[in-house]
Amino acid sequence: MKVSLSFNDAISLIYAPPSSYLIWCLMAIFLFKRIYRYQSHDYAFSTVENLLHSLGGDDFLRMLNRTLLETLQKAGFSEKFLDEIVAPVMRVNYGQSTNINGFVGAVSLACADSGLWAVKGGNKLICSGLLQASKSNLISGSVMYIEEKTRTKQTGTPTKMYEVAYQTGSETHSDFYDIVLVATPLNRKMSNITFLNFDPPIEEFHQYYQYIVTTLIKGNLNSTIFNSRALGKFDLSTILTTDNSDLFINSIGIVSSVRENNPQPSEDGTYVWKIFSQETLTKKQILKLFLSYDYAVKQQWLAYPHYKPPEKCPSIILHDRLYYLNGIECAASAMEMSAIAAHNAALLAYHRWNGHTDMIDQEDLYEKLKTEL
Ligand SMILES: *[C@@H]1O[C@H](CO)[C@@H](O)[C@H](O)[C@H]1NC(C)=O
Ligand SMILES: *[C@@H]1O[C@H](CO)[C@@H](O)[C@H](O)[C@H]1NC(C)=O
Ligand SMILES: *[C@@H]1O[C@H](CO)[C@@H](O)[C@H](O)[C@H]1NC(C)=O
């Protein structure tokens, strides 16, 4: 899942983005927002490519095939702008260079400019809140394998169902389901699910995820290391880095409270800083960044796909009634994308179960919905 950071005023002031760049991003976002209209009319898509095509046509699919660098170079942006604005934004948002695909690049650039929302208490509350609202029955455990089996229902008719085997503590359990949705990256390191005895076998994905380390530090930054000249009263709140920087971090920025627009220091005058880096920071490195610090907490994880266009997105339909949500991350990884993928999978499963083929993969939906109103 992507973690975003908004630009601070100082950076926006120094680098007022050229208006052509804003128009380029706004156009992509404008087209992308069509998905909410389609989903509010219950339309579903059976592949990530079909979904993107319905929003932005071949242009969107071409964005998946090209690097962001190629896409923006073709659109006439200067090398300086690409190196000093676009590359640092990709490093903070996706821990990668401008060699990521053009689509995820557009999503990432759009985030850099608009006000982002945060949830008081942590974004994780979205998950527990949704779970509660849906009145679902949550069973905690790690899924080990999924196997299709024929079961005889009470009516006496044999029916194909999926057996899901999972581990809770040291115990193994299993249950039968009509429809299964997999909402975790299918990657042996992250969720080691085996698909047993499927014929033909379920497609194996080798989606590589990007390793990233987040370190939160409360302390006094030594701003001299970022600029040999005296900064005077010009305080730093966000520092992004370019691809060829010799620094050991991708970015560092002050963490602000959900309630305040401007971050407030704690009583001792220090701030909490969030650092993204490719490797775990050593104590020596932390002492290079900070004059003094109180505490540091770190979290390393496989945060988002490692992008390598041309992207071939994993299937949404893995088997008759077995669906996969995280394939959408190959286009762009963000909470909003996960929500769209989940809504799409729910609609797709429902329409396929009920034989509503006219609600799936419809061409020219935009025109169709325009005349319907
Ligand atoms: C994208 O590349 C794939 C091959 O990787 C190709 O099959 C597809 O036609 C390309 N799509 C576009 C819109 O260029
Ligand atoms: C995944 O699970 C299989 C069997 O369930 C096991 O043999 C394998 O070592 C596991 N792989 C990882 C990376 O945990
Ligand atoms: C701050 O960093 C600069 C540049 O690395 C270094 O010369 C200076 O000694 C540091 N200041 C302190 C007080 O450690």
Reading the chain (373 residues) residue by residue, the pLDDT tens digits are 333 333 333 333 344 455 666 676 777 778 888 999 999 999 999 999 999 999 999 989 999 999 999 988 988 889 998 999 899 999 999 999 999 999 999 878 775 555 667 888 888 899 899 999 999 999 999 999 999 999 987 888 899 999 999 999 999 999 999 999 999 999 888 889 999 989 889 987 777 899 999 999 999 998 888 765 555 555 778 888 999 888 899 999 998 877 776 778 888 889 999 999 999 999 999 999 999 999 999 999 999 999 999 988 999 999 999 999 999 999 999 888 999 999 999 999 999 999 999 999 998 898 888 876 5
* Cα 171 from Cα 363, distance rounded (Å): 48
Q: Which residues of 263-289 are buried (b: 16+ CB within 10 A; e: fewer)?
A: eeeeeeebbbbbbbbeeebeeebbeeb
Smallest CA separation from ligand 3 atom 4, residue: 225
Whose Cα sits closest to atom 13 in ligand 3? 291
How far does the centroid of ligand 2 lie from the alpha carbon of residue 354, in Å? 36
First to last CA, the chain: 36
How confident is the model at residue 15, as a pLDDT? 46
CA nearest 313: which of 53, 94, 118?
Answer: 53
Distance set, CA 212 to CA 9, 85, 256, 277, 287 (Å): 26, 21, 21, 6, 20
Q: Which atom belonging to ligand 2 lies closest to the Cα atom of 144? A: 5
Q: Whose CA is nearest to atom 5 of ligand 1?
A: 310
Q: Ligand 2, residues 192, 193, 206, 302: which to mutate, most atoms within 8 A of Cβ?
A: 192
167 in contact with ligand 2, CB cutoff 6 A: no
221, 222, 229, 236: residue to mutate for ligand 3 pocket, most atoms within 8 A of CB: 222
Closest-approaching ligand to the CA atom of 193: 2
Question: Measured between alpha carbons, how far is 17 from 15 in angstroms, rounded to an integer?
Answer: 6
Ligand 2 centroid to Cα of residue 193, in Å, is 8
User: Residue 247 CA: which ligand is closest?
Assistant: 3
Q: Which ligand is nearest to the CA of 287?
A: 3
Residue 257: its pLDDT value, please? 79
Verify whether ligand 2 is closer than 6 Å to residue 188 (CB atom): yes
Residues 6+ apart with CB under 8 A from 72: 24, 82, 86, 98, 102, 105
Query: In b/e form, how buried is each residue of 239-260, taking b as 16+ CB within 10 angstroms?
Result: bbbeeeeebebbbbbbebeeee
Structure tokens at 342: 């989940």
Residues with CB under 6 A from ligand 1: 58, 61-62, 65, 310
Per DSSP, 80 falls in state: H
According to DSSP, the β-strands at 142-152 and 194-196 are: parallel
Residue 65 Cα to ligand 2 middle (Å): 32
Distance 250 CA to ligand 2 centre (A): 32
pLDDT in tens, 314-357: 999 999 999 999 999 999 998 889 999 999 999 999 999 999 99
Residue among 5, 21, 6 at smallest CA distance from 86? 21
Q: How far is the CA of 273 from the centre of ligand 2 (A)?
A: 37
Cβ of residue 224 lying under 6 Å from some atom of ligand 3: yes
Distance between Cα 97 and ligand 3 center (Å): 29
Give the residue from 136, 193, 228 showing the smallest Cα distance to 322. Answer: 193
* C-alpha of residue 66 to centroid of ligand 1, in Å: 10
Question: Using CA positions, which residue lies closest to atom 12 of ligand 1?
Answer: 62
CA of 192 to the centre of ligand 2 (A): 6
Cβ–Cβ under 8 Å, residues 333 and 2: yes
Q: Ligand 2, closest atom to CA 192?
A: 1
Ligand 3 geometric centre to CA of 223 (Å): 8
